[in-house]
Amino acid sequence: MGESLQFLFRRAGWYLATMWVVYTVSFFLMHAVPGGPFDAERNLPPEVRKNVEAQFNLNDPLPVQYFDHLTRALRGDFGASIKIPDFTVNEIIGQGFPISASLGLFAMVFAVCLGTTAGVVSAIRRESFVDFSFMVAATLGIAVPNFVLASLAIILFVFQIQLLPAAGWGSLKQIILPAICLGAPYAGYISRLTRTGMLEVLGRDYIRTAFAKGLSERRVVVRHALRGALVPVVSYLGPAVAGVMTGSLVVEKIFALPGMGSHFIEAAFQRDYPLALGVVVVYTALVLLMNTMVDFSYAILDPRVKLGEL
Amino acid sequence: MVESQDAKQPDASELERYAALLDEARRIKGTSLWQDAWRRLKRNRLAMISLWCLVAVAMLAAFAPLLPLQSPLDKDLKDRKNLAPGFRGQRYWVKLGERSDLRFASDSLTAELAKFDDEVAELKTKVRAASGTDREQLLGELDGKIHNSDPLEKLWHNPGSIVRQLLRLRIMLFGDWCLPSLFGTDDLGRDVLSRVFWGARVSLIVGIVATLVSLLIGVTYGAVSGYLGGWIDSVMMRIVDILYSIPFIFIVIFIITILSAEETKAKMDALGINQLTVFYVLIGAIYWLTMARVVRGQVISLKTELFIDAAHVVGASRARIVFQHLIPNVMSVVIVYLTLTIPAVMRFEAFLSFLGVGVQAPDVSWGLLVDEGVKAVTPIKIYWWLIAFSGGALAATLFSLNFLGDGLRDALDPRMKNR
- Residues B261-270 have pLDDT tens digits of 777 777 777 7
Q: Which residues of chain B neighbour A14 with C-beta distances below 8 Å?
A: 241-242
The segment with the largest mean pLDDT, out of A185-189, B100-104, B153-157, B162-166, is A185-189
Q: Is the peptide bond before A46 cis (omega within 30 degrees of 0)?
A: no
Position B419 scores a pLDDT of 43
Per the prediction, chain A carries an average pLDDT of 81
Q: What are the tens digits of pLDDT across the range A157-204?
A: 877 777 777 666 767 777 888 899 999 989 998 998 898 888 888 888
| Helix segments in A46-171, DSSP class H | 46-55, 62-74, 89-124, 129-143, 146-153
Which range among A3-17, B2-16, B142-156, B383-397 shows the weakest confidence by mean pLDDT? Answer: B2-16
Query: Pick from A22, A32, A276: which is nearest to B258 by CB?
Result: A32
Alpha carbon dihedral A195, A196, A198, A203, in 10-degree steps, equals 140
Query: Pick from B245, B355, B399: which is nearest to A288 by CB?
Result: B245
Residue B142 near residue B124 (C-beta atoms within 8 A): yes
pLDDT band at B415 (very low <50, low <70, confident <90, very high): low
Position A116 scores a pLDDT of 92
CATH tag, B51-62+191-416: 1.10.3720.10
Position A42 scores a pLDDT of 61
Position B10 scores a pLDDT of 64
Average pLDDT over residues B234-251: 80
Q: How far apart are the CA of B262 and the nearest CA of chain A, in angstroms?
A: 8
Per the prediction, chain B carries an average pLDDT of 80
The one-letter amino acid code at A83 reads K
Q: What are the tens digits of pLDDT across the range B309-319?
A: 898 899 888 88
Q: What angle do CA A120, A126, A127 make, to 5 degrees?
A: 140
Query: Pick from B262, B371, B399: which is nearest to A139 by CB?
Result: B399
Distance separating alpha carbons of residues B74 and B163, to the nearest angstrom: 17
Taking the CA of residue B55 as centre, how many other CA atoms within 13 Å lie in the half-sphere pointing to its CB? 6
- Selected residue with higher pLDDT from B412 and A277: A277
Residue B167 near residue B156 (C-beta atoms within 8 A): yes
pLDDT band at A35 (very low <50, low <70, confident <90, very high): low
Distance separating alpha carbons of residues A121 and A107, to the nearest angstrom: 21
Average pLDDT over residues A74-86: 77
Element (H, E) at B328: none
Decide if A26 is inside a domain: no
Query: Pick from B242, B249, B254: which is nearest to A246 by CB?
Result: B249
Q: Report whether pLDDT(B153) > 80.
A: no
Tell me the CA end-to-end span of chain B in Å, nearest whole number. 49
Distance separating alpha carbons of residues B289 and B237, to the nearest angstrom: 10
Decide if A198 is inside a domain: yes
Beta-carbon separation of B246 and A18 below 8 A: yes
- From residue B219, give the alpha-carbon distance in Å to each of A141, B129, B282, B327: 29, 58, 17, 8
- Selected residue with higher pLDDT from A96 and B361: A96
Length of chain A measured in residues: 310
ipTM of the complex: 0.78
Decide if A69 is inside a domain: no
Beta-carbon separation of A29 and B254 below 8 A: yes
CATH number at residue A299: 1.10.3720.10
Q: How far apart are the CA of A14 and the nearest CA of chain B, in angstroms?
A: 8
Q: How far apart are the CA of B409 and the nearest CA of chain A, in angstroms?
A: 14
Distance separating alpha carbons of residues B136 and A264, to the nearest angstrom: 53
Residue B91 near residue B180 (C-beta atoms within 8 A): yes
- Selected residue with higher pLDDT from B178 and A193: A193
Q: What are the tens digits of pLDDT across the range B294-314?
A: 888 888 888 888 888 898 899
Position A115 scores a pLDDT of 93
Composition of chain B by helix, strand, coil, percent to 5: 75, 0, 25
Q: Which residues of chain A neighbour B398 with C-beta distances below 8 Å?
A: 143-145
Residues 6+ apart with CB under 8 A from A292: A8, A11, A15
| Helix segments in A217-272, DSSP class H | 217-219, 226-229, 231-254, 260-269
Beta-carbon separation of A152 and B354 below 8 A: no
Which range among A56-65, A104-113, A286-295 shows the weakest confidence by mean pLDDT? Answer: A56-65
Query: Pick from A142, A147, A283: which is nearest to B247 by CB?
Result: A283
Structural domain spans, chain B: 51-62+191-416, 64-178
Question: Which pTM does this prediction carry?
Answer: 0.79
% of chain B beyond a pLDDT of 70 = 91
Q: How far apart are the CA of B359 and the nearest CA of chain A, in angstroms?
A: 16
Domain total for chain A? 1
Beta-carbon separation of B402 and A142 below 8 A: yes
Q: How far apart are the CA of B163 and the nearest CA of chain A, in angstroms?
A: 30
The candidate with the shortest Cα–Cα distance to B391, out of B362, B409, B365, is B365
Average pLDDT over residues A137-150: 83
Q: Which residues of chain B neighbour A145 with C-beta distances below 8 Å?
A: 347, 350-351, 354, 367, 370, 394-395, 398
Query: Pick from A14, A145, A246: which is nearest to B394 by CB?
Result: A145
Position A162 scores a pLDDT of 72
Decide if A48 is inside a domain: no
Decide if A15 is inside a domain: no
Domain that holds residue A95: 89-309
| Cα dihedral B4, B5, B6, B11 sign | positive
Beta-carbon separation of A159 and B247 below 8 A: no
Position B1 scores a pLDDT of 45
CB pairs below 8 Å between A and B: how many? 128
Distance separating alpha carbons of residues B316 and B328, to the nearest angstrom: 16
Length of chain B measured in residues: 419
pLDDT band at A111 (very low <50, low <70, confident <90, very high): very high
Q: What are the tens digits of pLDDT across the range B355-393?
A: 777 777 778 888 888 888 877 776 667 777 888 888 888
For A223, which DSSP code?
Answer: I
Element (H, E) at B177: strand B177-178
Decide if A293 is inside a domain: yes
Position B286 scores a pLDDT of 85
Which range among A58-62, A148-152, B220-224, B331-335 shows the weakest confidence by mean pLDDT? Answer: A58-62
Q: Is the peptide bond before A239 cis (omega within 30 degrees of 0)?
A: no
Which range among A39-48, A240-249, B113-122, B364-373 shows the weakest confidence by mean pLDDT? Answer: A39-48
Beta-carbon separation of B355 and A249 below 8 A: yes
Mutate which of A148, A195, A200, A245 to test chain B, going by most B C-beta atoms within 10 A? A148
3-state class (DSSP) for residue B95: strand
Distance separating alpha carbons of residues A14 and B246, to the nearest angstrom: 12
Q: What are the tens digits of pLDDT across the range B66-124?
A: 888 777 777 777 777 777 777 665 565 677 777 767 777 777 777 777 888 888 888 88
Beta-carbon separation of B355 and A155 below 8 A: no
Distance separating alpha carbons of residues A294 and A291, to the nearest angstrom: 5
